[in-house]
Amino acid sequence: MAGRNRELVIETATAACSVALIENGVVVAAIHEVVGRGHAERLIPMIAELPDGGRADAIRVDCGPGSFTGVRVGLAAARAFGLGWGVPVTGFSSLALIAADVADAPAGVAIAIPGGHGELFVQCYGMRPLAPSADLVSLKPDAAAATITEPLVAGSAAETLVMLRGYGEARAAEARASNFIHLPANIAALAPSPIYGRAPDARPPG
């Protein structure tokens, strides 16, 4: 169709497996399921359930931070579809997508999700317009509680952080692929490379 611009959005970096087909800025189909560790088994069938098998003019993929395996599954699928369809692939952050799920937030929100080794991935966002207001950090829960002062905290680790601080509001916001439409262009077109959020555990021998 002349003038059609379709985007396939893939999110597998969190506990959810989430896909959406966006046409000219409007969500035409979306599937969102909390699968835990089942991304590899569910993602391709989920895309196949979308109109035209998810065929799109561009692919947007969640690069993390989040599950190491989930990030790799999403990126591998996005790159494969991009190569097969001959379309561009770009990335976005899982934390930005979660921030977009808090549409009625005040001036700012802190996003908190579980990280590796008992740490939390945390990043603060301003909401109007949606944009990071601080760098992504990986902190022990106590350190995050002492550092993050935004009254509103969203994400799967929000309740933990608010309980440790003893103040604020926790929202269990999710990384929904359909919320990609709320991401400004400058944070919705990252390189399709993993965002791990912390230094690798293994280091070459010195």
| Domain-wise residue ranges, the chain | 6-94+175-187, 102-171
CATH fold, domain 102-171, is Nucleotidyltransferase; domain 5 (3.30.420)
- Encoding tokens for residue 197? 């959020």
- Percent of the chain past pLDDT 90, that is, above it, reads 84
Same topology, domains 6-94+175-187 and 102-171? Answer is yes
- Class of CATH domain 6-94+175-187: alpha beta
* Average pLDDT of the residues in 182-192: 94
CA pair distance 47, 72, nearest whole angstrom:
17
Residues 45-92 have pLDDT tens digits of 999 999 999 999 999 999 999 999 999 999 999 999 999 999 999 999
Q: Is the dihedral of CA 19, 21, 25, 26 positive or negative?
A: negative
Structure tokens at 47: 């895309």
Mean pLDDT within 134-163: 96
Higher-confidence residue of 4 and 118: namely 118
In this predicted model, what pLDDT tens digit does every residue of 100-144 receive, in sequence order?
Answer: 999 788 789 999 999 988 999 999 999 889 999 999 999 999 999
Q: Is the pTM of this model over 0.75?
A: yes
Compute the distance between CA of residue 22 and CA of residue 60 in angstroms, rounded to an integer.
10
Q: Where are the beta strands (DSSP E) in the chain?
A: 6-11, 16-23, 26-34, 58-62, 89-92, 108-114, 120-127, 130-132, 137-139, 152-154, 169-171
